[in-house]
Amino acid sequence: MKQYLDAVRETLESGTRKENRTGVDTLSTFNINYEIDLREGFPLLTTKEISWKNIVIENLWFLSGRTDIALLRKHGCRFWDPWADEEGKVPSAYGNFWRHFPLPDNGTNDQIAYVVDTLKNNPMSRRMAVAAWAPGNAQSSALPPCHAFWVVNVQNDGAGNPYLCLHLTQRSCDIALGVPYNIAGYSLLAELFARFGGITAGIFGHTLIDAHIYTARADGSMAEYDHIPGLREQLGREPRALPQLEIDESIRSLDDIEPLLDLDTGEIMDKFRLHGYHPHPAISFKVAV
């Protein structure tokens, strides 16, 4: 996937060393932008293997609006464990604010339901926006939302046929670990929302505000967190053909998502079949918490 590999190269070539809250240095650069045409294949990284199961389960969890990680644990997804409190909840969970954004009157707003309704009734609206950044939570959270804001936008092709686009603004972007999952996760959301609206998925646009690569400190310490060697290995690998995503015909609306949460892992994955995914071997990167 050329767009991702170009972002890796740009960060390696132009990034400057920055300290951050994790204690592990990064090479950081500002404002990388790219587009991916979802009609050319599903953008799951091929220069290393990515867990399709984790992407599907995580995004169903987001759409559910839940804060507890029981659903993730049920399906063997452990990546949110470091951020869960002693009750197994993540107060800053993206879906919580997507589905229950806090209002001044102590009520909440379901942004996902609003977008789906607008997509059906006023698809050319420019107001189909979803925010995960709620200042009252984000400014004091141990892990405020990295992918903070996204917008659904419908365009017409040359023949007047509508297609759905989705743009993600991401404030903090772990190039090695997070960004491949973010690309695939929001592309899956674009495919789902296109299905909900009865149109074709088109473009995924992505803005990386602080794009960074974790690296050893200048004195050589924290070398176990150095992501540069693994990324350079990927740059030396030839990208392979993108897979094709097939979403089960039974999934036609937002209401069809909730029943999926009661299924076992195999049953869920049978609803989101990925054909022709033949990646290079996985590369392990240690997470800076």
Q: What positions carry a catalytic annotation? A: 146
CA–CA separation, 100 and 120 (whole Å): 21
CA–CA separation, 200 and 166 (whole Å): 12
Closest CA to 245 of 287, 172, 173, 189: 189
Contacts with 86 (C-beta within 8 Å, 6 or more apart), sequence order: none
Q: Are 240 and 45 in contact (CB under 8 A)?
A: no
What radius of gyration, in Å, describes the C-alpha atoms of the chain?
A: 19
Q: What are phi and psi of 172, to 5 degrees?
A: -135, 125
How many residues belong to the chain?
289
Q: At what angle do helices 2-14 and 228-235 cross, to 10 degrees?
A: 130
